[in-house]
Chains A and B, each alone.
Chain A
Amino acid sequence: MKFALIFQNDTVAFLPELFLAISILVVLLHGSFLGVTAASLHSYLTPSMVRLTSGTLFLSLLLVINNPVESQTLWNAIFIADYLSTWAKFIIFIGLLFCVSVSESYMFSARFRAYEFFVFILGIALSLCLLISSYDLLSIYLSMEFLSLIFYVLAAWKKNSYFSAEAGLKYFILGSVASIFFLFGSSLIYFSLGTTNLASLALLTENLSVSSAFIYFGLVCIVSALLFKLGAAPYHMWIADVYEGAPTLVSLIFALVPKVAFFVVVLRIAFTSFWSLFPTLWEDFFCICGLLSLFIGCLCGLGETKIKRILAFSSVGHVGFLCLGLASGSIEGIQAVLFYLVFYMLTAAFLWVYVLHLDLTSNSSLLTFADAIGLVRSNPFLGFGVVLMIFSLAGIPPFGGFFAKLNIFIGLVDSSFFIVAIFAVLTSVISAFYYIRLIKIFYFEKNNNWFFFAPLTKGASIVLVLSGLIIIFFMLSPNLFYLLSYKVGLGLFF
């Protein structure tokens, strides 16, 4: 009874996570009971799992929107519920719903009949929710490990492929090193400040005049680990191999979902807890990471001939832009980052769903440019959409990607980072080169082989239409989103 009184509000605000945790068990039971009969594997298991998973995700989405608590710490300030966490959870649920809705046809054609995949998706949802609402270095670490374990398994999921095994192993080893760095960094901070709670850290560092080297070093370790998970530049080594080696459906999840959650954590650490270190530490750190990412993203993409690798390097470049948005250290910067994250997620969803479609229809599993030749002739509408999205990724107006970059530039110029802005401009011209090379492949080259009209599956077309429409809506009337991201950003400052 007493317990109920103390944690009454906490339970209410924590409902989505609780619901997800219980439903993981239910889905696991459902799958294992269905999975024992071999006959049901082919036709019944995957569709029923898809329905169950998407239903669960949708219900948790509703629970998140319906969150009655405005802003409050939960469970002795280990977690928090605020605007940022609500909207970030909303975004990742949308992303995961996208992933689930394209998974059915992939599971059939790739002959994967494992129900565990859907349990993993729910696990990803739970761990990302926990990560987003974490308010303590320890809970961040634990939920990050929860997420990473699932990701390691998923990357190595294609048992008969060397690429997949390589991806899984690389991701596992490098990811463990990153986790160690995080743990080491938080222990250093605990050593020098005596707490791991983000709010207490904010109070302690508010008027910090002489800060010890331990704090700096610890923070660098922590944020490096987070940037590793995001694939920012000095820590980008795994990203191309993992994206290429993992099954395409899993690469789609890697590309779409976790970025939002990790950026939320970075925002919390940089802007809530250690905002007082802004001019000295954060500006240099994020600027260096951002510029390096832009540089790597544009140069390494130039020589690539595989579509998945090119998308991986383009994601490095985009994370670079996001880091530059953080470097400006103002509310405009946060706003730009949130804006950019959503646009990037929608655009990437469109392109990755196309890559998935290509994976299902083409013969080779490597997905080089040669597989994509003649897209416009075999499927004109899809080709047109993909070309527009690539222009959007390259940041050509009037598409969404331009407005996202514009906000980042506004943040940079506002903080007088002129040289950085000019460098970003140069790299975006260079990266425009490989984006329009993709367009050349789609539109200008003649295919010598036979090609067939391959219709998109229903789930994939729903995702494409939804992401396209949302982007067009934000292009035509950005007011709503602009205000929302401003409000979310304001809630971040302690």
Chain B
Amino acid sequence: MLLTLLFIFLSLGIVGLIVIPSNKKLLMRQYALFITSVVFVFSLLLWLGFDQSTPKFQYVVNWLWLPIANINLVLGIDGISLFFVILTTLIFPLCLLASWSFDKGDIKTYLISFLSMELVLLLVFTNLDLLFFYIFFEAVLIPMFLVIGIYGSRQRKIRAAYMFFLYTLFGSLFMLIGVIYIYLFAGSTNYESLATVNFSNYDQKWLWLAFFASFAAKVPMLPVHIWLPEAHVEAPTAGSVILAGILLKLGSYGFLRFSLGLFPEASVYFTPFVFSLSLLGVVYTSLTAIRQTDLKRLIAYTSVAHMNLVMIGLFTGTVIGVEAAILQSLSHGFVSSALFLIIGILYDRWHSRVVKYYGGLTHTMPIFIIIFLFFTMANLGLPGTSSFIGEFLLLVSAFEANTTACFFAATSMILGGGYSLWLFNRIAYGNVKLVGFDLSLREFILFLPLVLGTLFMGIYPNIFFSVMHAAVSNLVWADLWM
């Protein structure tokens, strides 16, 4: 019921936004912020009413869409998807707040794109039907494509938008064929029904590969990660935040929910493959990140490294590993969003993203630098921040599963220290190259929930883990891996 209310509220909010005349820009911004904030409160209520003792799906909504062909829209939340939902609803009001002074082109289309993106993303994370998961997974492309293409900063944005669109489309059409095969094999696409279906080993491998093609482009795994730096760099700040904070989680969520949940044997079979690709991704993108000269591009490459680390956690097949992967996803959602917002603040003031352009900001913008320092530390996994919990537990479980993998994964901590600290060093210290205002109140408020969230997750992670336990234990059959 609560979930239905949430979706109805958000949909009506989008309709309301269409009605507001397009010259009342402030009213539109306030309205959109109000809608997204109320949705955030709704999602917190979902957490409050969540029963953490059961792995079953809660707040289930069932809409008979095509009952003759047994394709129905089923929504529900369990311990895995709850935090992805909350992450989504938290990031969106922050994005709208961050783009408060963004005034380039048509604001109405911009806000409608963001609200519809939130709607579709929430539908993806709560979806329990394979076909509808695919539909909404793809539908996210449309508003994001428009946001990058219309509101991007440079002429290269068109190339970026193309790459973003076509890479994801290409991967996910294979998933579509997989979904159709499953539908014809099992006669249903309902997740809960499919969990009881035993696919043969041979089928599982092919289906796993079809799903892998789609999710790997979203995570992104190594050979298909090219779209990510392009898209992140060319998108407007709020778009980059959504891309890094939420869209990348679609990949890991998909792996967790569908690849591990439906094809456990194939997941075990392909674990070495995933490990190798992820380790290559971690080391390679960390090294690439060190030598970037564009701020956004640098952060984009660190995102790839962190998400590949998450992949290792998912495929260790232990409860600790999977839970740590989820927590690391959330933490990455907070930290990389914050880093993109930080770059957005620099870009707002000086309209440049070149690292060399900046220097000595600690003298002129102390509050900004404190926040930047905090998130730099969070990015490299300082104890006390959320990333530490995530990375530490990831490495623990990786050590249990595969010591060599653990060794290479651990290099990410060192390399992460390298690029994060060096970046911070170049921007914060040295001669004063620029003079500008420190954070305004709006910008400070923007960072506050992210700082608090990161600290909270780092100091008392058990409140998050306790919600996940039941669902993750139900998902992971550790004996398959051992």
Contacts and interface: CB of A to CB of B under 8 A. Distances in A.
Partners in one complex: yes
Contacts of B161: 436, 440, 444
B149 to A, nearest CB: 5
A479 B180 contact: no
Contacts of B47: none
A483 B66 CA distance: 10
A180 interface: no
A174 interface: no
Given A425-B173, A425-B176, A482-B68, 4 more contacts: A397-B135, A402-B135, A444-B150, A479-B66
A68 interface: no
Interface string A412-432: 011000100110010011001
B165 interface: yes
A369 B68 CA distance: 43
B52 to A, nearest CB: 33
B449 to A, nearest CB: 31
A422 B177 contact: yes
B408 interface: no
Given A398-B136, A398-B139, A436-B162, A410 B173 contact: no
A436 B177 CA distance: 22
B180 A410 contact: yes
A425 B68 contact: no
Contacts of B180: 406, 409-410, 413, 421
Contacts of A391: 142
A433 interface: yes
Contacts of A478: 65-66
A299 interface: no
Given A397-B134, A398-B135, A432-B169, A440 B176 contact: no
Contacts of A428: 173
17 contacts: A380-B106, A397-B136, A402-B138, A409-B177, A413-B181, A421-B177, A425-B176, A429-B169, A436-B165, A440-B149, A443-B149, A443-B150, A444-B161, A479-B66, A479-B67, A479-B68, A483-B68
A396 interface: yes
A429 B170 contact: yes
Q: Give the interface SS of chain B, mostly helix, strand, loop or mixed.
A: helix
A439 B134 CA distance: 23
A443 B149 CA distance: 8
Given A402-B135, A414-B184, A432-B166, A443 B177 contact: no
A280 to B, nearest CB: 24
Interface in A55-85: none
Interface of B: 65-69, 106, 131, 134-136, 138-139, 141-142, 145-146, 149-150, 157-158, 161-162, 165-166, 169-170, 173-174, 176-177, 180-181, 183-184
A418 B176 CA distance: 12
Contacts of B66: 478-479, 482
A73 B135 CA distance: 43
Contacts of B169: 396, 429, 432
A410 B184 contact: yes
B177 A444 contact: no
Nearest to A394: B169
A444 B139 CA distance: 20
Contacts of A429: 166, 169-170, 173
Interface in A351-386: 380
A333 to B, nearest CB: 13
A485 to B, nearest CB: 11
Nearest to B149: A444
B170 A397 contact: no
Contacts of B135: 397-398, 402
A424 to B, nearest CB: 9
Contacts of B145: 436, 439
Contacts of B136: 397-398
Contacts of A444: 149-150, 157-158, 161
Contacts of A402: 135, 138
A413 B177 contact: yes
Interface in A123-166: none
A478 B64 CA distance: 11
A440 B135 CA distance: 23
Given A425-B176, A429-B173, A440 B142 contact: no
Contacts of A479: 66-68
Given A396-B142, A397-B134, A440-B149, A410 B67 contact: no
A395 to B, nearest CB: 9
A442 to B, nearest CB: 10
Most buried by B among A429, A433, A478: A429
B451 to A, nearest CB: 36
A136 to B, nearest CB: 35
A396 B158 contact: no
Contacts of B142: 391, 396
Contact of A409 (B106, B158, B176): B176
A427 to B, nearest CB: 10
Contacts of A425: 173-174, 176-177
Nearest to B177: A421
Contacts of B157: 444
Interface in A473-494: 477-479, 482-483
A418 B67 CA distance: 26
Nearest to B141: A396
A180 to B, nearest CB: 40
Nearest to B134: A397
A409 B173 CA distance: 11
A396 B146 CA distance: 14
Closest CB pairs A-B (n = 4): A397-B135, A425-B173, A444-B149, A413-B180
Contact of B184 (A413, A433, A443): A413
A440 B158 contact: yes
A339 to B, nearest CB: 12
Contacts of B150: 443-444
Nearest to A478: B66
A160 to B, nearest CB: 39
Nearest to A437: B162
B123 to A, nearest CB: 10
A483 B170 CA distance: 32
B256 to A, nearest CB: 22
Contacts of B65: 477-478
B177 A432 contact: no
A422 B177 CA distance: 8
Contacts of B176: 406, 409, 425
Contacts of B68: 479, 482-483
A421 B68 CA distance: 24
B166 A433 contact: yes
A25 to B, nearest CB: 46
Contacts of A380: 106
A410 B158 contact: no
Given A425-B176, A479-B66, A410 B183 contact: yes
B178 to A, nearest CB: 9
Nearest to B151: A444
A418 B177 contact: yes
A429 B165 CA distance: 10
Nearest to A391: B142
Contacts of A398: 135-136, 139
A478 B166 CA distance: 28
B234 to A, nearest CB: 11
Nearest to A421: B177
Contacts of B184: 410, 413-414
B216 to A, nearest CB: 16
A100 to B, nearest CB: 32
A167 B444 CA distance: 66
A410 B134 CA distance: 15
Nearest to A422: B177
Contacts of B166: 429, 432-433, 436
B142 to A, nearest CB: 6
A433 B181 contact: no
Given A429-B169, A429-B173, A396 B138 contact: yes
B231 to A, nearest CB: 14
